[in-house]
Amino acid sequence: MSPLPELALAAIVAAGSAAVTRADPRGARRTAAGLLTAAVVVSAVLWTGDAGGWPTVVAFAVALVAVSVAPVAEHPSRVLGAILQVVAISVAAAAAPHPATAPIAWAALTAVVWLRLGGETPVRRLLIIHHGPAVALLAAAALIGTRHPTAAGALGAAAVLLRWGVAPGHAWLPSLAEAAPAGLVVVYTVGTPLTLLALPEHLGAGGPLVAGVGAVTAMAAAGVAAVQRRVRRAVAWILVSQAGTLAIGLGAAGPATVRVGWCALAMAGAGLVMAVAAVEARRGPLTLDEPAGAFGRFPRLAAGFLVAGLSVTAFPLLLGFSAESELLEATAGTPLLWLPVLIAAAGNAVTVLRCYFALSTGGRAPGGQRDITRLEAYGLTVALVGLLVGGLAPPAHRADPGLPPGAGVPYR
């Protein structure tokens, strides 16, 4: 299909970011949500039955969840505008693939987030330390791609692993999750399909190494997440663990498996991060030292967090289960790869349930906080419907089973 529809949608969203930036915070949220709703509907209609276009739909949906649930105090108009800029750059770059597109867009995304952080904060330095080399690696891969595909694949894989937050290049992600507005964290970490454009098709002998690094990251990060005291940081380590799982898929089965896993992580990660942000807006920073919530006061927020978390842990009937089933099928003959996937899922399940009970149980007086607004309910519903529909109808996301590993549905 022609990339023109995607480019047109990206241009409209980018133009809308200017109007959003000038509006008052509440009006900006409504404007951004309306604009992204239209983008989701149009892109879903255009790419119905075309698995190669679904990452675009997911990218717009993740941004919709981010702006709809974004707490007003943490997300002034300029931050909401930055969220629209990030998704517009991602979709436009992925719609018109060119060797130079990915590194340029990657640098632009990092610049948008870096500028919105403000001040000389440690997380700004971490972004430069990690994403500067990643952009350079990706640019080098683009330069030598046609002449040395195996070397280009190795450079591209290293860049993608840094961008996902796979160890040892993971330090930026937990720091960003605590320092930046939650909506910006979502679209920058899990909500951009740009990494799908950069996935190398030729890993050669480096495939097992990539998978091995992913396996160690998935298990170690799941263990670290389980002992965190702050909820935001625990969720960030879950995202690092899931990045390791994506790396297992990339090294063992190729890009087709990663595309399914990315869609699952994007929707589930958006639900997790934004549900926590919404509760913190009502209660202040949340810790896991003692139960601090009241399910009777926040039932829909708690339910949204739980369903998104269950998808991360590959609970049946959810999109995460479909993605993990495909990964386990691809690694069935290698216990050193499928066993870490199961261990990471179990460890993340412990963290999700621990966070859920900390958010939802306890006898502290609710203090009159409102459970959820209509716009927040709409945003969480988008995330949960995406997870349920993806879990019940996974064939639309899968590659053709008759194709060899790595030769799945292309993403334009």
Predicted confidence (pLDDT) per residue in 86-131, tens digit = 999 999 988 877 778 889 999 999 999 999 987 768 999 999 999 9
pLDDT band at 300 (very low <50, low <70, confident <90, very high): confident
pLDDT band at 21 (very low <50, low <70, confident <90, very high): very high
Q: What is the pLDDT of residue 288?
A: 85
The residue among 249, 230, 110 whose CA lies nearest residue 174 is 230
- Per-chain mean pLDDT for the chain: 87
For residue 324, give every residue at least 6 positions away whose Cβ sits within 8 Å of its Cβ, in sequence order, or none. Answer: 245, 261, 264, 314, 341, 345
Q: Higher model confidence: residue 56 or residue 195?
A: 56
End-to-end CA distance of the chain: 9
d(CA 241, CA 105): 25
Q: What is the pLDDT of residue 94?
A: 84
| Residue range 270-297: mean pLDDT, rounded | 82
Please, is 74 exposed, middle or buried when counting C-beta atoms within 10 Å of its C-beta (0-12, 13-18, 19+)? middle
Q: What is the pLDDT of residue 323?
A: 92
Q: CA distances (Å), 381 to each of 47, 54, 117, 303, 304, in order?
A: 21, 18, 29, 11, 8
pLDDT band at 408 (very low <50, low <70, confident <90, very high): very low
Exposure pattern of 11-25 as b/e (b: 16+ CB <10 Å)?
A: eebbebbebbbebeb
pTM: 0.91
pLDDT band at 400 (very low <50, low <70, confident <90, very high): very low
Q: What is the pLDDT of residue 407?
A: 37
Exposure pattern of 251-260 as b/e (b: 16+ CB <10 Å)?
A: bbbbbbbbbb
Q: Higher model confidence: residue 209 or residue 2?
A: 209
Q: CA distances (Å), 1 to each of 172, 258, 262, 371, in order?
A: 36, 22, 22, 43
- In this predicted structure, the answer to whether residue 401 has a pLDDT above a threshold of 60 is no
Q: Higher model confidence: residue 212 or residue 47?
A: 212
